[in-house]
Amino acid sequence: MTNYSREDLSWTSDLKEAFDGDVELQDEQGHAVRMELEAEFKVGNQRYAVLRRPGAAAGEHELYHVSSSADGEISIITIEDDDEWEDISELYDECTLPEL
């Protein structure tokens, strides 16, 4: 696994500016699911979104890749690699959870 540090993360706001805090995704059955934008950031050249289902407890979030097409259309894509998901989740937690 790759280990990242706080210095590797930079906060972004592209989704916030485009969607004003709520994002609508489609589940596997094609149903619309509204998600709350908790945070968005960049690690290297890869952008990530932290989304939470309405009513979910703090800390119950989902991570996604964010990409933009040449015409500016934003796509939110599931992270398929378990190691990447774990690394990015740990980095996000490290940057946002209070130190004890």
As averages over each run of 10 residues, the pLDDT of the chain (100 residues) reads: 80 90 87 93 95 85 92 91 93 78
At residue 1, the pLDDT reads 46
Enter the pTM of the model. 0.86
Share in percent of the chain as helix, strand, coil (round to 5): 25, 40, 35
Question: Residue 64: what pLDDT?
Answer: 96
CA distance 88 to 58: 17
pLDDT at residue 2 in the model: 59
* pLDDT number for residue 99: 59
